[in-house]
Amino acid sequence: MTLNPATVSPAARIYLRPVWFADSPIGLDGRTARIGNGLVWYQGIEASVRGAARPVRDSIAVERLDQWIAALPGPVSAQARAQVAAIAAPRAPLVLGERTIRLDQPQVMGILNMTPDSFSDGGKHVDDAQAAADAGFAMAAAGAAIIDVGGESTRPGAAPVWEGDEIARVVPVIERLAKAGVAISIDTRKAAVMQAALAAGAHIVNDVSALLHDPLAMEVVAKAGCPVVLMHAPSTGENPHIGDGYADPVCDIFDWLAARIDACVAAGIARDKIIVDPGLGFGKKVADDLAIVNRLTTFHALGAPILFGASRKRTIGALSNQAPVSTRLGGSLAMAMRAVEAGAQIVRVHDVPETVQMAHVWRGLRDGALTAG
């Protein structure tokens, strides 16, 4: 549908999504733009204008974008220009102790669950810190840039875990990994666990509640000055899967994450330390997950690195004749590949060697396109 900028209400919200990707900008001078400092170029923007129950969308070629934005009402034009700048802004590397993780190319985060009941690998490493650490070392050796250690399952119906038990599960593993120089994130919603994990050598806080579950979490992260992953979930209570649905899942989640970024910056967390995760599978139907994946580039307009986690999740089973969790490698790789092609900076996965190989092949193809044009 063609959208006339002159008909847009000054009170509307606009959402810009890179579309029409190019393998290489060579020979397309003035007709492509780049997502951050990565290896993804695009030739158009899909603009969604939200002033009613459902957004109205139109697509604009890059070479026409400035003119199109200038014709919008002042407040909406300002939103659009800010989002274009955010899409283009370089994503700062993550400085994690002695390691620096560059975000100008896709990175793999390996999942290491110290839980008896996680949906995929629950019980695999619980009660054996050395075996868990060895699994983390293996993922790092296979190419995982970051190991994400968690001590509480957040699958639907999982029982809450006392913070003392969660600390006892994760700290011995983190200590072993940190001594070897592995970059580590702590997957937790609890401030006390964050503090203990950071003291043990973790570098990143990965919170499925975006620092809303525990009222002390924001202060812990701000004081630590560490990177933080803000994930969207519809509930910040014990069950993060409870929600009332979405008028439009992508726009609703975008607005929610934008508000969380602003709150974190106001609390003293540096903007360049913030990573966003749209939270696939958390309080979302299969159709919601598919909308997020298909319109993932919308979240680049937040100006933060995107962490994408679809590994072995329910949507993959739903799309593959209810395949059991243990047989979802192909679907997990397809999802990760889609995210990488959309410019996601980090993919969080169970199957590290296979995903790293996928990312290497993607990078080789992209380098070949940039060389040959």
Catalytic sites, residue numbers? 313, 348
CA separation (Å) from 148 to 37, 135, 324? 25, 12, 23
CA torsion 253→255→261→266, rounded to 10°? Answer: -150
Helix (H, G, I), strand (E, B) or coil at 43: strand
CA separation (Å) from 324 to 69, 124, 259, 319, 331? 47, 17, 36, 12, 11
Integer Rg of the chain from CA: 20
CA torsion 351→324→333→104, rounded to 10°? Answer: -60
- Residues 353/108, Cβ–Cβ less than 8 Å: no
The structure tokens 């002159």 sit at 6
The span from the CA of 150 to the CA of 161, in Å, is: 11
Q: Helical H runs in 32-104?
A: 65-70, 74-88
- Residues 177/144, Cβ–Cβ less than 8 Å: no
The span from the CA of 257 to the CA of 278, in Å, is: 8
**Closest to 350 measured CA to CA, from 135, 125, 112:** 112
Q: Roughly what angle, to the nearest 10 degrees, separates helices 163-179 and 191-200?
A: 20
Q: Helical H runs in the chain?
A: 65-70, 74-88, 129-141, 163-179, 191-200, 217-224, 249-266, 286-294, 314-318, 329-341, 352-372
